[in-house]
Amino acid sequence: MPIYFCIREITSAGTLPLRHALLRPHLTPATCVYPGDTDATTIHLGGFVGESLCGIVTLYREALPDRPGVGCRFRALAIVEALRGQGHGLALLEAVEQLAREAGADYLWANARVPVLDFYRKAGYAVGDEEFIVEGVGPHRIVVRNFS
């Protein structure tokens, strides 16, 4: 039987338990609060199975430095381990893509962890050539999805 995964808007504070547990468990909870989290244009989404929060992603109105056009950025896309590989991460990614399009974005981008770059490639994202380290988290590359 397939698992029903429902996506709905949540608060910034609502993202923090999963951000910490899934993305930065070895760091302090304070490192899971990102600049722009409480901006009026920022949208936080949660993926739920029943009433259990099982996935998160946040969308910011933030252009990629030195890139023309209107950009949006997403951060903290994460799914609990038991539900990975079932399409729920892709569902959250598609939800933020739709919100970015509705906001008039020409592209959507993120700093992606190197181990999950194939996920983004399969979803139609271009992967940047330059690898960089996010302190305390590890190697990343920029991924971009053009809408125009």
List the chain domain ranges.
6-146
The mean pLDDT value for 95-109 works out to: 98
The CATH number of domain 6-146 is 3.40.47.10:
no
pLDDT for position 139:
96
Determine the pLDDT at residue 1. 40
Model confidence pLDDT, tens digit, residues 18-70: 999 999 999 999 999 999 999 999 999 999 999 999 999 999 999 999 899 99
Q: Is residue 101 within a helix (H) or strand (E), and if so which, with residue range? A: helix 88-102
pTM: 0.94
Percent of the chain with pLDDT over 70: 98
Helix or strand (DSSP H, E) at 100: helix 88-102
